[in-house]
Amino acid sequence: MFSRILKFYRTGPDKPVISVPPDELTKVYKRRRRNVFLGITIGYGFFYVTRLTFSVVKVPLFREGILTETQAGTVGSALFLLYAFGKLTNGILADYSNIRKFMSTGLLVSAALNLLLGFSSAFWVFLVLWGLNGWFQSMGSAPSVVALSQWFTTKERGTRYGIWYVSHSIGEAITFLGTAAVVGFFGWRAGFGVAGLLAAAIGILLIFMLADRPRTLGLPSIQEFGDDPLAVSEQQDPGELIRQQIKLLKVPAIWILGTASALTYVARYAINSWGPMYLEVAKGYDLITEVGPIMGTAPVLGFAGGALSGVISDRLFDCNRHKATLLYGLLQIAGLAILFFGPPGHIWLDYLGMGIFGFAVAGTVAFLGGLTAIDLTPRHVTGAVMGLIGLFSYLGAAIQDYISGYILESSKTMVDGVAVYDWDAAIVFWFGSAVASLVVAMFVWNAKPTTTLD
**DSSP of 383-416:** HHHHHHHHHHHHHHHHHHHHHHHHHHHHT-EEET
Domain around 173? 21-444
Q: What is the pLDDT of residue 449?
A: 59
- Within a domain: residue 45? yes
pLDDT, tens digit, 9 for 90 and up, residues 433-445: 999 999 998 988 8
Could you give the CA distance from residue 245 to residue 440 in angstroms, rounded to a whole number?
24
Q: Return the bridge partners of 418, or none.
A: 415
Q: What is the pLDDT of residue 359?
A: 93
CA distances from 231 to 335, 379, 450 (A): 38, 6, 12
Q: How many domains does the chain have?
A: 1
Q: What is the pLDDT of residue 300?
A: 82
Q: Domain containing 415 — which CATH number?
A: 1.20.1250.20
Q: In 10 A of CB 22, how many CB atoms?
A: 7
Could you give the CA distance from residue 168 to residue 362 in angstroms, rounded to a whole number?
9
What letter would DSSP give residue 428?
H
Q: What is the pLDDT of residue 128?
A: 94
pLDDT, tens digit, 9 for 90 and up, residues 324-341: 889 999 999 999 999 999
pTM: 0.74
Q: What is the pLDDT of residue 244?
A: 61
Q: Which amino acid is at 137?
A: Q
Q: What is the pLDDT of residue 237?
A: 55
**DSSP of 145-169:** HHHHHHHS-HHHHHHHHHHHHTHHH
Could you give the CA distance from residue 248 to residue 377 in angstroms, rounded to a whole number?
8
- Within a domain: residue 16? no
- Within a domain: residue 337? yes
- Within a domain: residue 395? yes
Q: What is the pLDDT of residue 177?
A: 82
- Within a domain: residue 14? no
Count Cα atoms within 13 angstroms, Cβ side, for 286: 6
Q: What is the pLDDT of residue 222?
A: 78
- Within a domain: residue 453? no
Could you give the CA distance from residue 317 to residue 112 in angstroms, rounded to a whole number?
43
DSSP, collapsed to helix, strand or coil, labels residue 449 as coil
Residues 6+ apart with CB under 8 A from 393: 84, 87, 258, 261, 262, 265, 365, 369
Could you give the CA distance from residue 61 to residue 70 in angstroms, rounded to a whole number?
12
Q: What is the pLDDT of residue 200?
A: 96
Burial class (CB in 10 A: 0-12, 13-18, 19+), 344: exposed
Q: What is the pLDDT of residue 88?
A: 77
- Within a domain: residue 291? yes
Q: Which residues of the chain have pLDDT under 70?
A: 1-2, 158, 226-250, 376-383, 447-454
Question: Is residue 418 within a helix (H) or strand (E), and if so which, with residue range?
Answer: strand 418-420
- Within a domain: residue 303? yes
Q: Which amino acid is at 6?
A: L
